[in-house]
Chain A
Amino acid sequence: MATEATKITETISWTDITEGCKVEASGNSKLFNTGEWRVDTPLFIAEKCTQCLLCAPVCPDSSIPVNNYKRADFDLDHCKGCGICAKVCPAGAIEMKMGER
């Protein structure tokens, strides 16, 4: 039986790693914390936000969670800090903290 996707970590030995690193699961990109790559970090200023939701669809990493037509704070486990959301925000509700994790 192939190793479970959650067990493929940086401590796995060569005898346990899956063939060609194949992943025996679906919908598992959440397990990969792309947020580790971040150099600049967006800061969500909730009181300025008008909930226009222009930011959420342009996020390349689906790191702006939306529930009941309202966005919540950033998912920093996956946000790579690209800053597109801050560029599109018409309300000044997203501030990029340059050089901050």
Chain B
Amino acid sequence: MSIRERLSGNEAVAFAMRQINPDVMSAFPITPSTEIPYFFSTCIANGEVDTEFIPVESEHSALSAAIGAQAAGARSVTATSSCGLALMWEMLYVAASNRLPIALALVNRALSGPININCDHSDSMGARDSGWIQIYSENNQEVYDNFVQAYRIAEHPSVRLPIMICQDGFITSNAVENIELLEDGEVKDFVGEYCPENYLLNSSQPQSIGPYAVAAYYMEAKRAQLEALKNAKQVALDVAREFAGLSGREYGLFEEYRLADADYAMVIIGSAAGTSKDAIDQLRAEGQKVGLLKIRLFRPFPGEEIAAALKNARVIACMDRTESFSTQCGPLGAEVKSALFSAGLAPVVINYVYGIGGRDVAVENIASVYADLIKIDQTNDAGEKYRYLSLRD
């Protein structure tokens, strides 16, 4: 039986954590993710879980403690945002390369500067090459569902990599929505016990984790790490299928919305996908063939599948909620264009930077993007291919 509730995105994550009952949480507060350790440590104080909470003096320490705990054999969790993730930087790579399936609840927020506490994806997009699995959520329901699935993907023997479950700061993290929750027992059974093959506190099989690897070993270790991340794609699908059987809610590598026959496609990540769906419904009612591809799994990037899903689109808008200072495209734009090129496809791709630093994204803003795409198709003139949406001239 599902439970009908209304929760903020942060509450939804903390609720999932309570149901999962991880062994260790180490966290340091930062807006807008502070509520996650705040709510969850209340569960710990009330004796609802037997998680050990490690208060730390920084995010570098938060992830370091989670790494130590996970290596010791504990299922570990942390949460952060923005500059907190930036301060974890060094340890992100340590967690991934040592193949420690830690779960991190990331509430996306702009990186300084100018200092800004609102939503964009500059924090997690900067960490995209650290070797973590990255899953993005559109709404509170997806945040909860993705977090419940997180450890099953991360801990799979063919994967064993840390996982970041991302949601949009304030937009989902602090907004309350209707939500369907699973029963505690259902989540417990679905996630299961953490039983690592070996761990540092296993006195019957001593091991050393994190040794120095000279040039003769480093490349082999990295190639093996890549294989594990590649494996995460199929595991994410398998776990989603099992989750659908439990919850009735289906997830894939990405979501297609009215995309199959769309001439004009948008690729987007996170909460703005909901706004885009509204814009699409309006434009479809006017007879425009517009559609959406919403990324769920960004690392590993399902390039072949995305190229196949976009093969009929005449003009594509890639929506980046970050500025990566490449000067030719954002990270999503680069990935999508690379996937299309590898598949031998050459549609016109316009890359938009939108919503950074919490700039509002309204239905009319998204509609204006589709209007741009249609005009480009009609005039055969792409113009500037790297644009800012809703920027004051």
* A and B from one complex: yes
| Chain B residues near A28 (CB-CB < 8 A) | 208
Given A20-B210, A22-B207, A22-B211, CB of A2 within 8 Å of CB of B223: no
B207 closest partner in A (C-beta): A24
User: A28 CA to B208 CA in the complex, in Å?
Assistant: 10
Question: Are B221 and A20 in contact, with the CB atoms below 8 A?
Answer: yes
B216 closest partner in A (C-beta): A10
Question: Are A22 and B208 in contact, with the CB atoms below 8 A?
Answer: yes
Contact of A23 among B160, B207, B228 (CB under 8 A): B207
Report B's interface with A, CB cutoff 8 A: 97-99, 160, 197-198, 205-211, 213, 216-217, 219-221, 223-225, 227-228
User: A27 CA to B206 CA in the complex, in Å?
Assistant: 9
User: A13 CA to B224 CA in the complex, in Å?
Assistant: 9
A25 closest partner in B (C-beta): B206
User: A39 CA to B197 CA in the complex, in Å?
Assistant: 42
User: A35 CA to B198 CA in the complex, in Å?
Assistant: 31
Given A20-B97, A20-B99, CB of A14 within 8 Å of CB of B220: yes
| Chain A residues near B220 (CB-CB < 8 A) | 12-14, 17
Contact of B98 among A2, A13, A22, A25 (CB under 8 A): A22
A18 to chain B, nearest CB (A): 8
Question: Are B198 and A24 in contact, with the CB atoms below 8 A?
Answer: yes
Extra contacts, 4 of them, besides A12-B217, A25-B206, A27-B206 (Cβ < 8 A), are: A14-B227, A17-B217, A22-B208, A22-B209
A10 to chain B, nearest CB (A): 4
- Size bracket, chain A contacts: 10 to 19
B196 to chain A, nearest CB (A): 11
| Chain A residues near B211 (CB-CB < 8 A) | 21-23
User: A7 CA to B225 CA in the complex, in Å?
Assistant: 19
- Per-residue CB proximity of A13-47 to B under 8 Å, as 1/0? 11101011111111110000000000000000000
User: A69 CA to B339 CA in the complex, in Å?
Assistant: 69
| Chain A residues near B97 (CB-CB < 8 A) | 20
B205 closest partner in A (C-beta): A24
Question: Are B217 and A21 in contact, with the CB atoms below 8 A?
Answer: yes
B335 to chain A, nearest CB (A): 24
- Specify which of A17, A24, A27 lies most central, judged by the most chain B CB atoms within 10 Å of its CB: A17
A10 closest partner in B (C-beta): B216
Question: Are A26 and B208 in contact, with the CB atoms below 8 A?
Answer: yes
| Chain A residues near B197 (CB-CB < 8 A) | 2
| Chain B residues near A24 (CB-CB < 8 A) | 198, 205-207
Complex A-B, nearest 3 residue pairs according to Cβ-Cβ distance, in ascending order: A26-B206, A14-B223, A19-B99
User: A15 CA to B225 CA in the complex, in Å?
Assistant: 10
| Chain A residues near B219 (CB-CB < 8 A) | 14
